[in-house]
Every structure is written in C-alpha cells, then in structure tokens.
C-alpha cells in the first residue's frame, strides 16, 4: 500500500496547494523516535542546548519572510498576525536559552551528611535530569508558537530532551520548513539533526505516543483528540506523562458596577478579544456573565455594534468552519437563546462572528442548555445575563476547568473594600490557571511568571505550556547519595563551579 | 447487607485479634470525602497548617507507647523498628511544618508589567494553590511513616489539602488510633477534624479514587494494586494525578575491584540490607551484579555466612508469607539458579531469609529467567555473576525502573580517574531516582534533597514521596494578571509582607 499523501490546503479556497510529504508508517515513526533517542547524549551539554535555541531563533528570523508566507498560505491567519507569532516564537526560544544558562530549573539541592540526625543523614545531592524523547503534537491555530518551533519543542530541547513532532494537518508545509530550519540549527552548533524530527499523519500520532522509547508528550488541540492520546499514554505498559492542553471556555464575569461604569468599553473589548484571529484562540472568552438590567443592556448594545462591524473571515480549515456553523446553529436553537448578531457561515469559505444571549438562570441547573458551557471554536461567545450574585455563583459552580477566568470590576471595587470583588476573585481562582482583572484573556505573554494551563479539560496535568516553568514537564529528579566528589556532575559539587542557584542544607543560596 | 467487619490480625499467629471497624460503604466514602472537601477553606491558613503538623507530631509522640504497641501487635515489626519509625514519622511532620513556614514551595514569581516588550507584558504574579482533597493509600510495610500519619498525609496537609486515608488491612487498629490522634490535633489548633478522614476496605479504595471531589491520590504498595488505581484515576471523566510508588528491584553493581578490596564487608552489608525488616522494604536490594571469579566467590561466601546467621522472622501477613514462599520456590527452580542459602518457609508463621545465584549471561536476553528481574517481596536477593563489563551493561539495559540503584566501588575507583566507575554511574542513573555509592539503599533519610521515586514501576509519576519536594504533588500554579494590589493574596504583593523567597522579574530574590 502506498503511503497516504499529505497535502497543503488553502483554507481560503479549500483547494489543495501541493503535496508536501506522506503520512509516516509505523516503521518511519520508529526510525524517527530511534533517531531522537540516539541524540539524547549530545543534548546533555547545556551550553550546546542554549546555542541550539539561540541559533534556531536566529535562523527562523532569517527565514521569516518565507515562513510567514508558507504559514499564511495554509492557515489564512494573515501576515500581521503571523509576523507577531514568529516574533513570539523566536523570543520564546531565546527565553528558554536564558533558562538553560541560569540553571535554576535543575533545582539543585545539597544536604551534607549529618551525624546528629537519628538515624544519621547521608550526603544527598539532588538535581533534575531530562526524561528522554518527547512527542510534541502541534496545534492547528498556532502554526509556529504551538507547533514545530513552539513552546513544547523549545522547552523540551531546553530540558535536554530530543523531540519528535507530529505535524498538524492544517500546516504541513510550514511544519516541514520549520523542522528543516531547526535541524539546520542543530547542525550549525554541532548537534545531531535528529534532536528534532517530524512525522505526519493521524496514525503516526497514535504510534508515537505508544512508542516504548518516547518518555513524555506535549499536546495542544481538541478535547476529543487530546483525551484519546492521554488515554493511550496512560494505558501503555509503562505510562508516560501527557501534558495536554485540550479546551477552555474562559469565563468572564462583569460586575454590575463595572457595566455601569464602562459598558461601552467592556463591550468593545470583549468583541475584540472574542473575534481576534477568527475566535480561534484557546483563550477566547467563550462565556460571559453580564448583569441583567440597564447597564448590561448597554453592554450588549455596545457588543452588538462592535461585532456587527467585523468582516467575515476564513477559519483554519473547512472542517472547523463546518463545525462552527453547526455548533452555533445548535446553540442558537435552544429555547431562550437569542442572537443579537447571528454567528455562522459567511461566504462559501468564510464565517461571520456573532454572539448569543441567555438568562443565566437557565444555566444554573443541568439541562439542554449545558451545551452553552462547552467551548465552540470560532468567533462566538455566549452572554448569560444574571440577576443576582447568587446566580453568578451557581453558574460558576457548574463550569469545567479553564485556562483563564476574567473579572471586570469598576474602579470602586478594585480597592479591596467591596467584599464582592474579593469574593468573585476567590470563586474564579479554582476554575482556572490564569485569573485576570480588567483585561482580556487572548494574548498570552511569554513571561517567567506565566501559567498557561488549568484544571481539566484545560490541561491534563498541573503544568504550563508557556513560561519558564514549562521546562519542568520534561525533567525528573535524581538524588546521589554518598557519591565521591570526583564522580559527581559539576552541578552537584560543593564549590559550585557553574555558579548555579541552589539550596544547601535546606536553605536557598544564590 | 451488613457492612463487612475489619479485623486486626496477629501475623505471629494468623489469629484475629479484634474487630476494629467495618468496610466503608459507598455512602460512607462519599461522606468522608465531602467532610474533607468542606474542610479545605480552613486549611488555607498556613499558620494553622504548620501548627497542625507540629501538634500532630507532639500528640503522636505522647501516644507513642500505645501506638507502637498497637502497630507491633498487627505487623510484628517489633518495638525497636517501630520506635524508630515513629520518630521518623514525627520528624517528618515537623519537617513539613518548616516547609510550610518557609514558603518556598509556593514558588512565588512576579513579573512586573513591561511596556517595552512586543507585545507589552501585563503584570503577572504566580504562586501555587492546593489541589483539593487528596486520597492517601497506606502501605503495608510502614504502619506509620507511609500510612495514616505518614509522608503523603503530612505533605498533603502541608500543601493545604485535606486527606481521606484508605487504611491498609494489615494494620487497621493502628490506622484508627493514628487517625484519632491527627483529628484531635486538628481540633486542638482550631481546624475541623475532617481535615483527616479514614476509610477501610478494598471497594472503598476504588470508590475513593473515582470520587468527583477527590483531586489527587498518593499510593504506596504493589504494582498490581497501584496500577489498578492508577488506571482508575486516569479513566475518570476528569483524570487526577496519581502518585504511586509500586515496586522496585533496587539493583546493586559490585565492581571486581570492590569485591577484591572488601568482599567480606560488602557481603555482610548486603545481608544486613536485604534481610532488614524481613526484606519488606521497598528499597531492599533485590538484585545484585557481582563478579565471577575469586573475589566474587569470597563475596558469596561472606553473604552465605551472614544470611545463615539470620533467624526466621514473621512477615506482615500470611498472604505475603505465602507469596514469598511461592515466589522464591518458582525462582529457585529455574535452570542454572542455585540457592547457597535456600529462602522460604520457616515455621508455620515465619519465613527464612536466603539468596539465589545465577550467571548474569542468562539474564542478558529475554526468557524464563526474567522472573529474576521482578521484585520478590521478602528476605531474598538474586546475585547474578558477571564475566565482563559488557555483561553488566546488557543486564542493566533490561531492568525496569527503580527507586534506587547502588554502586559498590573500590577506593581506587572513587577518584574519578578510572573510566569504569563514571561509566557505571552513568548507566545506573537512568534506572533510578536515587543512586548510591558504597552504601545500602534501605533507610531513606527524610531530608530536603531526598528523592524517593523513580522510573515506572518505581513510581507512576516523576514525583517523590519523601523529602521537602513531596509537597509539590498536591499543588497547582495560578497566575494573577493585572490584578489590583488590594485584591491580591499577601503572598503576591510587592512589599512581600510574609518575607517569602520568590523570583521577581526572572531573578531569585531572598
């Protein structure tokens, strides 16, 4: 049987552009994993890792025009957004080079022998070592920042783990191009090209998570696909960590005072955030609790105005477009649901943004309206109008886990004296990994303190896929007991030749 | 149907001592979990948590005589060992109180807003929050240190998570006693008693890991039981982290030079470690690579002498005794396996320590002898005699994951100039979470740099169940974005009123 072709498709027309690869057979997946596995030893050198990450960033910047053109042709995300995404991707690679240089991620802890303990303590020296080959499953909606050269790859390489990336079918040509750039970067710094490998195809993705030499996986995508891979990872004879980001509703709560203070500004901000990138961000605000009554009416009016000014747009692929059209139709048909601006099909290849409104009361108990509490990928949000603080609480208690939760407060509520604001913040915190006040959740800063993750189904673990601590996913601790200094890695020696931050005898030492 | 009685059994006679409880019904498990869940808010107070841990330690020490008597009657571990275990348990509770006081586990990271970034960074402040109710599955072999008042409970309470403990059937009376002490400690410091709950019964354990309000689980026990619970945790609609310590062979490699230098000392040390506590430690050295030839012969002789001096002993229960007797019989019957001292049944209620020898060559490839690479709980070890460094490598490559791996070196090998020693250390590191040189793996210091975990099946995650970082299992990060200072928890404020160690703008700050 001939290997199935992998086509690059133009979402603006639905037409095949070119065949860029073929789906990997089980043998080809095996070869890719074994190649990566053999490259582990070379990646043990942290200086080489940092050089790889910086060189990869430089080469991606150099190839920028080409990369952006390829990505736009396959994703229709447009050059402005893709230029930003590339900048974010190369900044992320360089940020992980800094993480590698500083070495705090090694979490070095030294306890000297202590004969006064009962029983006596031996000398113990702990640090973290790379897990091994990491499988990376690319996202549809970020052809760069959450795909081949994205955060999973960057953090895994930073940790010392070679990667095998499963390309997303929405951007195979961009994936091939980026993989070749990363492999060239490896060669330039004297590392094996096989520190980065690429495979295409659904079955290849399943083979990959089951491969005995794969030690961990990172995933960004749908609940259905991610859960299937999570289940496969857990069912292995030797289960492996599966760090998946699956789906998120990203609730927003707008207090009555906030709506009274700036309904127009909030409505416009919400419209911008929910329609950004055709509503295809994992942090799109998909569910909004807004007050009933006049201030809330003003907010809905402002949202109506802003959304009505949005042009139809192209989604990442036609399957998503069709799912969006069907999803909004099903939601809009529920009793009690109105559509001030009806979302749905635009032209033959496009979609139109819109939003739905509903009484929050209908969501306070289980029923058909629970569909409104499920993520609908694309430019739509659901505005639930509440009549009392108790109604906010009862709806929030029914939400699944989220990447983000947002609170819109009035200025008078932000000083901590109004009990309502602190209470709402406390109610939102269990729901999400990032809690925002008076901002919008789209736009995830690649900053050290970022946390991009949240209770299931936002993520399948307690980890983050963005920010300095994303590296922690690919490491495991090892303690050396009573090991002669001459045999210890330099990182664990008393004289600290590499000047690493560490904890000695239970106390931090810089 | 009447609830099944839970009996305390004397392993020295196999006779029932007293009925101490009954197996929890699904309703009772639900009640215990809901009680714990309701106690979460009270545990948010870190000062109260530290007080709880210290008071629990004090009350356990006060009740020491009673606790040790109860545990000895059910486990036959003897007052000396149990006195040590209690001291270790209370020291562990106090150590976690210190961890709570210091606050490094909160992993506070603050990134101030930075308008010079593209796109600009918002203000981000990240810390870790408790996951929720933790299910703790007690171990048979540590009725205190890995049971009701053990490391899982101590670290979960330290993290701010109430616990529901599933008692081990080998020590239900001790479990009841310890739970009552912990609940009394909670009451004394003004916390709800339900921060600690106890259930008995196999079915109750399964109900517990499936309960929607349980957020994580800690387990110490067998591969079979642990894997079943791990699978149940992964199969939930909302999967939860399952930190299980399941089984470990704990390989030891003895170099030829080490055997030549001190065969007698190593043989005696090995005998002591493998027979300690009737070989019922998870860190028992269960597999030893010793050289063929004269130095290895001396080592075997010394091991023979030392083991032959061991008195028959009582295992934790008769099921384990029978499994041990059957397990060693099956192993000893393999072709090419000798038993210089035959392990097996002692008297009607006891077992005799022993060990087996085999050519390492028989283990270099898959076959019936692979049984020798599986843990056999009880006082037995397997000594595989190797003829070349290549044989060590090929046997090590076939081992599953372990808690520990031990290297016995000669003095001349410890200075780092002999390439063999460094190479062996590098081969052992991927196999285990703790690597020892010239020590024995039994005895796990409760020290900050300890790592008690290892590749599967040693543990089902990359976490540790002993040492300061065991607390990390029960936390998840949350970032606050652009949140007014007045609404932030004190832990995340710029002026650092609680004097926490933290990272600000990417740099550590003490």
Residues B297-312, buried b or exposed e (16+ Cβ, 10 A)?
ebbbebbbebbeebee
* C-alpha span between A11 and A15 (Å, rounded): 7
Distance, in Å, from the CA atom of A215 to the CA atom of A238, rounded to the nearest integer, reads 9
CA pseudo-torsion sign B314, B318, B319, B322: positive
CB pairs under 8 A between A and B: 233
The answer to whether B282 is a known catalytic residue is yes
Instruction: Render pLDDT for A161-217 as a digit per residue (tens, 0 to 9).
Output: 999 999 999 999 999 999 999 999 999 999 999 999 999 999 999 999 999 999 999
Question: Closest to A450 (Cβ–Cβ): which among B241, B468, B479?
Answer: B479
Residue with token string 């005794």:
B321
Cβ of A241 within 8 Å of Cβ of B461? The answer is: yes
Residue of B443, B478, B487 lying closest to A416 (CB–CB)? B487
What is the least distance, in Å, from the CA of B74 to any CA of chain A? Answer: 24
pLDDT at A418: 78
| pLDDT per residue as tens digits for the range B337-391 | 999 999 999 889 999 999 999 999 999 999 999 999 999 999 999 999 999 999 9
Rounded Cα distance between B33 and B163, Å, is 8
- Is the per-residue pLDDT at A357 higher than 60? yes
Residue A118 is predicted with a pLDDT of 77
CB B103 within 8 A of CB B49: no
CB B87 within 8 A of CB B57: no
pLDDT of amino acid A415: 87
Residues 429-448 of chain A with CB under 8 A from chain B are 429, 432-439, 443, 445, 447-448
Question: 374-413 in A: which are within 8 Å (CB) of B?
Answer: 400-401, 409
Give me the pLDDT at residue A3, please: 84
Tell me the average pLDDT of chain A: 97
**Residue B213 near chain A (CB below 8 Å):** no
Interface check for A419 against chain B (CB to CB < 8 A): the answer is no
Rounded CA separation B420/A303 (Å): 71
| Residue matched to tokens 């929890």 | B24
User: How close A55 gets to chain B, by Cα (Å)?
Assistant: 20
Q: How far apart are CA B59 and CA A193, in angstroms?
A: 60
pLDDT value at residue A254: 98
- All residues of chain B having their beta carbon less than 8 Å from the beta carbon of residue A118 are 84, 87
B490 to chain A, any CB pair closer than 8 A? The answer is: no
Is 80 exceeded by the pLDDT of residue A379? yes
> Which listed residue (B256, B282, B361, B391) is catalytic?
B282
Q: What integer is the mean pLDDT of B173-189?
A: 98
| Contact at CB, A109 and B448, closer than 8 angstroms | yes
Residue A354: which pLDDT band, with cuts at 50, 70 and 90? very high
pLDDT band for B230, please (50, 70, 90 cuts): very high
Whether the Cβ atoms of residue B96 and residue B155 lie closer than 8 Å to each other: yes
- B interface test, pick of A477, A490, A502, A509 with most B CB neighbours within 10 Å: A477
pLDDT computed for residue B418 by the predictor: 79
Please state, in angstroms and rounded to a whole number, the distance separating the CA atoms of residues A171 and A141. 10
A-chain CB neighbours of B124 within 8 Å are: 445, 447, 449-450
For the stretch B71-97, pLDDT in tens is 999 999 999 999 999 999 999 999 999
In chain A, which segments carry CATH 3.40.605.10? 21-246+461-474
Task: Given the residues A74, A85, A245, A278, select the one marked as catalytic.
Answer: A245
Given the structure tokens 């943004």, which residue do they identify? A353
d(Cα B466, Cα B177) in Å, to the nearest integer? 23
pLDDT greater than 60 at residue A1: no
pLDDT value for A509: 86
**A41 at B interface, C-beta within 8 A:** no
Does B124 contact A447 at a Cβ distance shorter than 8 Å?
A: yes
Q: Per mean pLDDT, which range of A117-121, B78-82, B289-293 is the poorest?
A: A117-121
Chain A residues touching B503 at Cβ < 8 A: 104, 448-449
- Segment B100-116 shows an average pLDDT of 97
A435 to B478: CB separation less than 8 angstroms, yes or no: yes
Task: Give the chain B residue whose CA is nearest to the CA of A411.
Answer: B484
CATH 1.10.540.10 fits A21-246+461-474, yes or no: no
Q: Among B23, B28, B176, B245, which one carries the catalytic annotation?
A: B245
Instruction: Please name the member of B434, B437, B484 whose beta carbon is closest to the beta carbon of A484.
Output: B437
The closest CB to that of A451, out of B122, B479, B486, belongs to B479
Query: Is A188 a known active-site residue?
Result: no
Whether A69 shows a pLDDT value over 60: the answer reads: yes
Contact between B447 and A121 using a beta-carbon 8 Å cutoff: yes
Query: Average pLDDT, stretch A47-75?
Result: 98
For chain B, give every residue range classified as CATH 3.40.605.10.
23-100+128-246+461-474
Instruction: Record the tokens describing residue B325, joined without a space.
Output: 């007797």
Residue A417 has pLDDT above 90, yes or no: no
CB-neighbour burial class of residue A7 (10 A; exposed 0-12, middle 13-18, buried 19+): middle
B3 and A CB contact within 8 Å: no
Phi, psi of B161 (to 5 degrees): -105, 125
Give the pLDDT band of residue A510 (cuts 50, 70, 90).
Answer: low
Judged against a pLDDT cut of 90, whether residue A2 lies above it is answered with no
Integer Rg of chain A from CA: 24
Strand order across the beta sheet in which A344-345 lies: A313-314, A350-352, A344-345
Task: Tell me whether B348 touches chain A (CB under 8 Å).
Answer: no
Q: Rounded distance, CA A246 to CA A401, Å?
A: 10
From chain B, the residues in CB contact with A480 under 8 A are 434-437
| Mean pLDDT across A142-160 | 98
The SS3 assignment for A434 reads: strand
Residues 290-329 of A with CB under 8 A from B: none
Q: Please give the residue of chain A at the shortest CA–CA distance from B483.
A: A437
What mean pLDDT is predicted for residues B149-170? Answer: 98
Look at residues B371, B344, B376, B375 and name the one whose alpha carbon lies nearest to residue B358: B371
Closest CA of chain B from A303, distance in Å? 23
Dihedral (Cα; B338, B343, B348, B349), 10-degree rounding:
-160
Give the CA angle between residues A287, A292, A295 to the nearest 5°: 100
The per-residue pLDDT for range B446-484, each reduced to its tens digit, is 999 999 999 999 999 999 999 999 999 999 999 999 999
Both tokens assigned to B413: 């090998």
Q: Is the dihedral of CA B100, B101, B107, B113 positive or negative?
A: positive
Average pLDDT, chain B: 97
Under an 8 A CB cutoff, do B447 and A124 touch?
A: yes
Fold held by A251-437: Aldehyde Dehydrogenase; Chain A, domain 2 (3.40.309)
Q: Name every chain A residue with its beta carbon within 8 A of the beta carbon of B432.
A: 478
Beta-carbon separation of B456 and A432 below 8 A? no
pLDDT above 80: residue B283: yes
Which CATH architecture best describes the domain B23-100+128-246+461-474? 3-Layer(aba) Sandwich (3.40)
Chain B neighbors of A122, CB-CB under 8 A: 436, 439, 445
Residue with tokens 């057979």: A25
Q: CATH 3.40.309.10 residue ranges in chain B?
A: 251-437
On chain A, the residues whose CB falls within 8 A of the CB of B482 are 436-439
pLDDT at B509: 86
Q: Report the sign of the C-alpha dihedral through residues B74, B78, B81, B86, in that order.
A: positive
């Amino acid at each position: 049987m001939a290997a199935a072709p992998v086509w690059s498709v133009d979402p603006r027309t639905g037409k095949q552009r070119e065949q860029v690869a073929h789906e990997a057979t089980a043998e080809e997946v095996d070869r890719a994993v074994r190649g990566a596995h053999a490259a582990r030893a070379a990646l043990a050198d942290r200086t080489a890792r940092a050089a790889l990450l910086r060189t990869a960033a430089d080469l991606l910047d150099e190839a920028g025009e080409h990369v952006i053109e390829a990505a736009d042709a396959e994703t229709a995300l447009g050059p402005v957004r893709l230029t930003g995404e590339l900048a974010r991707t190369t900044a992320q690679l360089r940020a992980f080079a800094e993480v590698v240089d500083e070495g705090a991620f090694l979490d070095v802890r030294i306890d000297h022998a202590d004969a006064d303990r009962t029983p006596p303590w031996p000398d113990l020296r702990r640090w973290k070592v790379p897990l091994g080959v990491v499988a990376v499953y690319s996202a549809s909606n970020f052809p760069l920042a959450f795909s081949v050269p994205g955060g999973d790859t960057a953090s895994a390489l930073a940790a010392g783990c070679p990667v095998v990336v499963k390309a997303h079918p929405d951007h195979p040509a961009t994936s091939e191009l980026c993989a070749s750039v990363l492999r060239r970067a490896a060669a330039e710094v004297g590392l094996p090209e096989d520190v980065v490998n690429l495979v295409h195809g659904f079955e290849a993705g399943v083979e990959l998570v089951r491969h005995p030499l794969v030690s961990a996986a990172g995933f960004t995508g749908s609940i259905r696909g991610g859960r299937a891979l999570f289940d496969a990872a857990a069912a292995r004879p030797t289960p492996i960590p599966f760090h998946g980001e699956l789906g998120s509703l990203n609730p927003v709560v707008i207090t009555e005072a906030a709506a009274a203070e700036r309904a127009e500004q909030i409505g416009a901000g919400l419209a911008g955030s929910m329609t950004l990138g055709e509503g295809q961000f994992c942090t799109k605000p998909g569910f909004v609790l807004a007050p009933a009554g006049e201030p809330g009416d003003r907010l809905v009016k402002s949202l109506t105005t802003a959304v009505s000014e949005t042009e139809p747009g192209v989604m990442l692929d036609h399957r998503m477009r069709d799912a969006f059209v069907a999803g909004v139709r099903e939601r809009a048909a529920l009793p009690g649901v109105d559509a001030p601006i009806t979302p749905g099909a635009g032209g033959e290849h496009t979609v139109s943004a819109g939003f739905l409104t509903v009484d929050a009361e209908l969501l306070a108990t289980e029923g058909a309206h629970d569909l409104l509490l499920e993520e609908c990928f694309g430019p739509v949000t659901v505005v639930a109008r509440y009549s009392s603080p108790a109604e906010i609480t009862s709806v929030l208690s029914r939400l699944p886990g989220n990447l983000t939760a947002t609170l819109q407060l009035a200025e008078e509520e932000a000083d901590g004296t109004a009990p309502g604001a602190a209470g709402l913040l406390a109610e939102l915190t269990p729901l999400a990994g990032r809690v925002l006040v008076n901002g919008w959740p789209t736009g995830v800063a690649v900053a050290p303190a970022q946390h991009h993750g949240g209770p299931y189904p936002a993520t399948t673990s307690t980890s983050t896929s963005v920010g300095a601590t994303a590296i922690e996913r690919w490491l495991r601790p090892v303690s050396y007991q009573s090991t002669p200094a001459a045999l210890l890695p330099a990182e664990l020696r008393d004289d600290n030749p590499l000047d690493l931050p560490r904890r000695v005898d239970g106390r931090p030492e810089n």
